[in-house]
Structure 1
Amino acid sequence: MYSLLITLWVGALWTVGYMVAPTLFHMLDDRALAGRLAGQLFTYVGWLGMASAAYLLVFVALRKNGAAFKSSVFWLVLVMLLLTVAGAFGIQPVLAQLKAESLPREVMEGAVRDRFVAWHGVSSVVYLVESVLGVLLVVVQGRGLR
Protein backbone atom coordinates (compact mmCIF):
# COMPACT_ATOMS: atom_id res chain seq x y z
CA MET A 1 0.00 0.00 0.00
CA TYR A 2 2.92 2.33 0.82
CA SER A 3 4.50 2.33 -2.66
CA LEU A 4 1.12 2.29 -4.36
CA LEU A 5 0.00 5.47 -2.56
CA ILE A 6 3.23 7.26 -3.37
CA THR A 7 2.88 6.26 -7.02
CA LEU A 8 -0.79 7.24 -7.15
CA TRP A 9 -0.27 10.62 -5.45
CA VAL A 10 2.83 11.70 -7.36
CA GLY A 11 1.48 10.29 -10.62
CA ALA A 12 -1.74 12.25 -10.17
CA LEU A 13 0.21 15.43 -9.40
CA TRP A 14 2.22 15.16 -12.59
CA THR A 15 -0.57 13.85 -14.83
CA VAL A 16 -3.17 16.45 -13.90
CA GLY A 17 -0.78 19.36 -13.51
CA TYR A 18 1.41 18.90 -16.54
CA MET A 19 -0.65 16.84 -18.98
CA VAL A 20 -4.40 17.11 -18.36
CA ALA A 21 -4.73 20.79 -17.40
CA PRO A 22 -2.61 22.09 -20.32
CA THR A 23 -4.53 19.80 -22.68
CA LEU A 24 -7.86 21.18 -21.45
CA PHE A 25 -6.73 24.74 -22.16
CA HIS A 26 -5.34 23.73 -25.55
CA MET A 27 -8.33 21.68 -26.73
CA LEU A 28 -11.33 23.56 -25.34
CA ASP A 29 -12.41 26.82 -26.93
CA ASP A 30 -14.00 27.94 -23.66
CA ARG A 31 -11.12 28.88 -21.31
CA ALA A 32 -13.51 29.37 -18.41
CA LEU A 33 -14.78 25.80 -18.80
CA ALA A 34 -11.21 24.53 -19.08
CA GLY A 35 -10.36 26.39 -15.88
CA ARG A 36 -13.34 24.99 -14.00
CA LEU A 37 -12.53 21.44 -15.09
CA ALA A 38 -8.85 21.82 -14.25
CA GLY A 39 -9.73 23.36 -10.89
CA GLN A 40 -11.98 20.43 -10.03
CA LEU A 41 -9.25 17.96 -10.99
CA PHE A 42 -6.73 19.85 -8.83
CA THR A 43 -9.22 19.62 -5.95
CA TYR A 44 -9.42 15.83 -6.40
CA VAL A 45 -5.62 15.58 -6.48
CA GLY A 46 -5.46 17.68 -3.31
CA TRP A 47 -7.83 15.37 -1.42
CA LEU A 48 -5.94 12.33 -2.73
CA GLY A 49 -2.72 13.93 -1.49
CA MET A 50 -4.08 14.69 1.96
CA ALA A 51 -5.40 11.14 2.40
CA SER A 52 -2.20 9.60 1.05
CA ALA A 53 -0.01 11.80 3.23
CA ALA A 54 -1.99 10.93 6.36
CA TYR A 55 -1.53 7.22 5.70
CA LEU A 56 2.14 7.57 4.74
CA LEU A 57 3.02 9.64 7.82
CA VAL A 58 1.39 7.11 10.14
CA PHE A 59 2.99 4.22 8.25
CA VAL A 60 6.50 5.70 8.47
CA ALA A 61 6.02 6.70 12.11
CA LEU A 62 4.95 3.17 13.04
CA ARG A 63 7.59 1.52 10.88
CA LYS A 64 10.47 3.60 12.20
CA ASN A 65 9.18 4.06 15.75
CA GLY A 66 11.02 7.01 17.27
CA ALA A 67 13.29 7.46 14.27
CA ALA A 68 10.55 8.79 11.94
CA PHE A 69 11.87 12.34 12.35
CA LYS A 70 15.19 11.20 10.90
CA SER A 71 13.50 9.82 7.78
CA SER A 72 13.71 11.80 4.54
CA VAL A 73 10.46 10.14 3.46
CA PHE A 74 8.68 11.44 6.55
CA TRP A 75 9.84 15.02 5.95
CA LEU A 76 9.12 14.97 2.22
CA VAL A 77 5.58 13.71 2.84
CA LEU A 78 5.04 16.25 5.63
CA VAL A 79 6.20 19.20 3.48
CA MET A 80 4.11 17.96 0.55
CA LEU A 81 1.10 17.69 2.87
CA LEU A 82 1.64 21.23 4.14
CA LEU A 83 1.85 22.54 0.56
CA THR A 84 -1.33 20.64 -0.35
CA VAL A 85 -3.17 22.05 2.66
CA ALA A 86 -1.92 25.58 1.89
CA GLY A 87 -3.19 25.23 -1.66
CA ALA A 88 -6.54 23.71 -0.78
CA PHE A 89 -7.44 25.85 2.22
CA GLY A 90 -5.39 29.01 1.64
CA ILE A 91 -4.78 29.73 -2.03
CA GLN A 92 -7.80 28.10 -3.69
CA PRO A 93 -10.35 29.96 -1.53
CA VAL A 94 -8.67 33.24 -2.49
CA LEU A 95 -8.92 32.32 -6.17
CA ALA A 96 -12.57 31.31 -5.74
CA GLN A 97 -13.33 34.61 -4.01
CA LEU A 98 -11.68 36.57 -6.82
CA LYS A 99 -13.73 34.64 -9.38
CA ALA A 100 -16.90 35.43 -7.42
CA GLU A 101 -15.99 39.12 -7.24
CA SER A 102 -15.62 39.29 -11.01
CA LEU A 103 -19.14 38.01 -11.73
CA PRO A 104 -21.06 38.35 -14.02
CA ARG A 105 -17.89 38.58 -16.13
CA GLU A 106 -15.20 35.94 -16.34
CA VAL A 107 -12.32 36.57 -13.95
CA MET A 108 -9.85 37.35 -16.75
CA GLU A 109 -12.18 40.08 -18.04
CA GLY A 110 -12.88 41.66 -14.67
CA ALA A 111 -11.29 44.26 -12.44
CA VAL A 112 -9.68 41.57 -10.26
CA ARG A 113 -7.69 40.11 -13.17
CA ASP A 114 -4.28 41.24 -11.88
CA ARG A 115 -4.88 39.88 -8.38
CA PHE A 116 -6.14 36.60 -9.85
CA VAL A 117 -3.06 36.29 -12.06
CA ALA A 118 -0.78 36.94 -9.07
CA TRP A 119 -2.51 34.37 -6.86
CA HIS A 120 -2.63 31.88 -9.73
CA GLY A 121 1.14 32.32 -10.01
CA VAL A 122 1.57 31.61 -6.31
CA SER A 123 -0.58 28.51 -6.73
CA SER A 124 1.52 27.36 -9.70
CA VAL A 125 4.79 27.76 -7.79
CA VAL A 126 3.43 25.85 -4.78
CA TYR A 127 2.24 23.08 -7.11
CA LEU A 128 5.60 22.95 -8.89
CA VAL A 129 7.50 22.67 -5.61
CA GLU A 130 5.16 19.89 -4.46
CA SER A 131 5.61 18.08 -7.79
CA VAL A 132 9.41 18.22 -7.56
CA LEU A 133 9.30 17.01 -3.96
CA GLY A 134 7.08 14.19 -5.21
CA VAL A 135 9.80 13.08 -7.62
CA LEU A 136 12.27 13.10 -4.74
CA LEU A 137 9.79 11.05 -2.71
CA VAL A 138 9.59 8.46 -5.47
CA VAL A 139 13.40 8.28 -5.59
CA VAL A 140 13.89 7.86 -1.82
CA GLN A 141 10.73 5.90 -0.95
CA GLY A 142 12.69 2.73 -0.16
CA ARG A 143 14.26 4.49 2.80
CA GLY A 144 10.85 4.70 4.47
CA LEU A 145 10.70 0.92 4.63
CA ARG A 146 14.10 0.35 6.24
Structure 2
Amino acid sequence: MHHIRTQRIFSLISGLWVGGFIAIGFLVIPILFSSLGDRQVAGMVAANLFKVTAYAGVVISSLLMVMASVLVRHELSRYRSMRWILLGMLACAVGAAFILIPWMNSLRDQALYSGLSVRESSYAVLFGRLHGASSILFMIQALLGLALVWRATKNAD
Protein backbone atom coordinates (compact mmCIF):
# COMPACT_ATOMS: atom_id res chain seq x y z
CA MET A 1 0.00 0.00 0.00
CA HIS A 2 2.93 2.32 0.70
CA HIS A 3 4.05 2.09 -2.93
CA ILE A 4 0.67 3.39 -4.17
CA ARG A 5 1.16 6.57 -2.14
CA THR A 6 4.72 6.85 -3.50
CA GLN A 7 3.41 6.49 -7.06
CA ARG A 8 0.85 9.24 -6.50
CA ILE A 9 3.44 11.55 -4.95
CA PHE A 10 5.80 10.78 -7.85
CA SER A 11 3.08 11.70 -10.37
CA LEU A 12 2.17 14.86 -8.46
CA ILE A 13 5.76 16.10 -8.15
CA SER A 14 6.63 15.29 -11.75
CA GLY A 15 3.46 16.96 -13.06
CA LEU A 16 3.94 20.13 -11.04
CA TRP A 17 7.65 20.32 -11.88
CA VAL A 18 7.28 19.75 -15.61
CA GLY A 19 4.22 22.02 -15.80
CA GLY A 20 6.05 24.82 -14.01
CA PHE A 21 9.18 24.28 -16.09
CA ILE A 22 7.24 24.49 -19.34
CA ALA A 23 5.17 27.48 -18.15
CA ILE A 24 8.32 29.44 -17.32
CA GLY A 25 10.09 28.60 -20.57
CA PHE A 26 7.23 28.91 -23.01
CA LEU A 27 4.93 31.43 -21.33
CA VAL A 28 6.66 33.60 -18.71
CA ILE A 29 9.92 34.27 -20.57
CA PRO A 30 8.26 35.26 -23.89
CA ILE A 31 5.86 37.55 -21.98
CA LEU A 32 8.85 39.12 -20.21
CA PHE A 33 10.54 39.99 -23.49
CA SER A 34 7.35 41.27 -25.11
CA SER A 35 6.26 43.32 -22.09
CA LEU A 36 9.48 44.93 -20.92
CA GLY A 37 10.87 47.63 -23.14
CA ASP A 38 14.46 46.92 -22.15
CA ARG A 39 15.69 43.60 -23.60
CA GLN A 40 18.76 43.69 -21.36
CA VAL A 41 16.62 43.82 -18.20
CA ALA A 42 14.32 41.12 -19.59
CA GLY A 43 17.37 38.97 -20.32
CA MET A 44 18.71 39.39 -16.80
CA VAL A 45 15.35 38.45 -15.25
CA ALA A 46 15.04 35.49 -17.64
CA ALA A 47 18.55 34.36 -16.71
CA ASN A 48 17.60 34.34 -13.03
CA LEU A 49 14.41 32.41 -13.74
CA PHE A 50 16.30 29.84 -15.79
CA LYS A 51 18.98 29.55 -13.08
CA VAL A 52 16.39 28.83 -10.39
CA THR A 53 14.61 26.41 -12.74
CA ALA A 54 17.88 24.59 -13.46
CA TYR A 55 18.82 24.26 -9.77
CA ALA A 56 15.31 23.05 -8.97
CA GLY A 57 15.64 20.57 -11.84
CA VAL A 58 18.79 19.10 -10.31
CA VAL A 59 17.11 18.65 -6.93
CA ILE A 60 13.74 17.42 -8.18
CA SER A 61 15.07 15.02 -10.81
CA SER A 62 17.40 13.53 -8.18
CA LEU A 63 14.51 13.13 -5.74
CA LEU A 64 12.32 11.53 -8.40
CA MET A 65 15.14 9.14 -9.36
CA VAL A 66 15.30 7.96 -5.75
CA MET A 67 11.52 7.54 -5.68
CA ALA A 68 11.57 5.65 -9.00
CA SER A 69 14.26 3.32 -7.62
CA VAL A 70 12.11 2.61 -4.57
CA LEU A 71 9.19 1.79 -6.85
CA VAL A 72 11.37 -0.50 -8.99
CA ARG A 73 12.36 -2.34 -5.81
CA HIS A 74 8.62 -2.82 -5.19
CA GLU A 75 8.56 -4.62 -8.56
CA LEU A 76 6.94 -1.77 -10.50
CA SER A 77 9.05 -2.24 -13.61
CA ARG A 78 7.53 0.66 -15.56
CA TYR A 79 9.60 3.00 -13.37
CA ARG A 80 12.82 1.52 -14.81
CA SER A 81 12.42 3.51 -18.03
CA MET A 82 11.41 6.59 -16.06
CA ARG A 83 14.80 6.51 -14.35
CA TRP A 84 16.45 6.85 -17.78
CA ILE A 85 14.17 9.77 -18.62
CA LEU A 86 15.05 11.36 -15.28
CA LEU A 87 18.74 10.77 -15.88
CA GLY A 88 18.43 12.66 -19.17
CA MET A 89 16.56 15.47 -17.43
CA LEU A 90 19.19 15.57 -14.69
CA ALA A 91 21.97 15.78 -17.27
CA CYS A 92 20.19 18.70 -18.97
CA ALA A 93 19.65 20.48 -15.64
CA VAL A 94 23.28 19.97 -14.57
CA GLY A 95 24.53 21.20 -17.95
CA ALA A 96 22.36 24.29 -17.70
CA ALA A 97 22.91 25.05 -14.00
CA PHE A 98 26.64 24.46 -13.77
CA ILE A 99 28.00 25.05 -17.28
CA LEU A 100 25.87 27.11 -19.67
CA ILE A 101 24.12 29.56 -17.32
CA PRO A 102 27.29 30.51 -15.36
CA TRP A 103 29.23 30.89 -18.62
CA MET A 104 26.53 33.10 -20.14
CA ASN A 105 26.27 35.14 -16.93
CA SER A 106 30.03 35.62 -16.96
CA LEU A 107 29.96 36.91 -20.54
CA ARG A 108 27.06 39.23 -19.68
CA ASP A 109 28.91 40.55 -16.62
CA GLN A 110 32.12 41.11 -18.60
CA ALA A 111 30.20 43.06 -21.23
CA LEU A 112 28.42 45.14 -18.58
CA TYR A 113 31.77 45.85 -16.94
CA SER A 114 32.86 47.32 -20.27
CA GLY A 115 29.69 49.42 -20.38
CA LEU A 116 28.05 47.39 -23.15
CA SER A 117 25.21 44.96 -23.46
CA VAL A 118 26.35 41.45 -24.32
CA ARG A 119 24.85 41.87 -27.82
CA GLU A 120 27.07 44.91 -28.44
CA SER A 121 30.21 43.29 -27.06
CA SER A 122 32.87 41.09 -28.59
CA TYR A 123 31.22 38.21 -26.70
CA ALA A 124 28.04 38.43 -28.78
CA VAL A 125 28.82 35.48 -31.08
CA LEU A 126 29.84 33.16 -28.25
CA PHE A 127 26.87 34.26 -26.16
CA GLY A 128 24.56 33.55 -29.10
CA ARG A 129 25.98 30.05 -29.49
CA LEU A 130 25.65 29.36 -25.77
CA HIS A 131 22.10 30.69 -25.86
CA GLY A 132 21.33 28.34 -28.75
CA ALA A 133 22.83 25.38 -26.88
CA SER A 134 20.87 26.36 -23.79
CA SER A 135 17.64 26.54 -25.80
CA ILE A 136 18.27 23.10 -27.27
CA LEU A 137 18.95 21.69 -23.80
CA PHE A 138 15.74 23.28 -22.53
CA MET A 139 13.73 21.78 -25.41
CA ILE A 140 15.21 18.32 -24.78
CA GLN A 141 14.41 18.61 -21.10
CA ALA A 142 10.86 19.75 -21.88
CA LEU A 143 10.29 16.78 -24.22
CA LEU A 144 11.74 14.38 -21.68
CA GLY A 145 9.52 15.98 -19.04
CA LEU A 146 6.42 15.44 -21.14
CA ALA A 147 7.43 11.80 -21.65
CA LEU A 148 7.97 11.45 -17.89
CA VAL A 149 4.56 12.85 -17.00
CA TRP A 150 2.92 10.77 -19.73
CA ARG A 151 4.46 7.58 -18.34
CA ALA A 152 3.92 8.55 -14.69
CA THR A 153 0.20 9.10 -15.19
CA LYS A 154 -0.34 5.94 -17.26
CA ASN A 155 -2.60 3.37 -15.64
CA ALA A 156 -0.77 0.26 -14.54
CA ASP A 157 -1.35 -2.67 -16.88
Match of 1:89 in 2: 98
Q: CA deviation at 1:106?
A: 0.9
Q: CA deviation at 1:101?
A: 2.1
Listed as ranges, the matches of 1:2-41 within 5 Å are 2-41=10-49
- SS of the residue 1:71 aligns to: helix
RMSD: 2.2
On the 8 A contact 2:69/2:79 being kept in 1, the answer is no
Amino acid at match of 1:126: L
Q: Taking structure 1 as the reference length, what is the TM-score of the superposition?
A: 0.91
Measure the CA separation in 2 of the matches of 1:66 and 1:114. Answer: 50
Amino acid at match of 1:131: A
Q: Which ranges of 4 or more aligned residues in structure 1 deviate by more than 4 Å?
A: 66-70
Match of 1:109 in 2: 120
CA distance change for structure 1 residues 101 and 133 in 2, over 3 Å: closer, same or farther?
same
Measure the CA separation in 2 of the matches of 1:137 and 1:36. Answer: 30
**Bigger radius of gyration, 1 or 2?**
2
Bigger mean CA offset, 62-71 vs 94-103:
62-71
Q: Taking structure 2 as the reference length, what is the TM-score of the superposition?
A: 0.85
Measure the CA separation in 1 of the matches of 2:79 and 2:67. Answer: 14
Q: CA deviation at 1:47?
A: 2.1
Q: CA deviation at 1:66?
A: 8.8
Ranges in structure 2 where 5+ consecutive residues have no aligned partner: 1-8
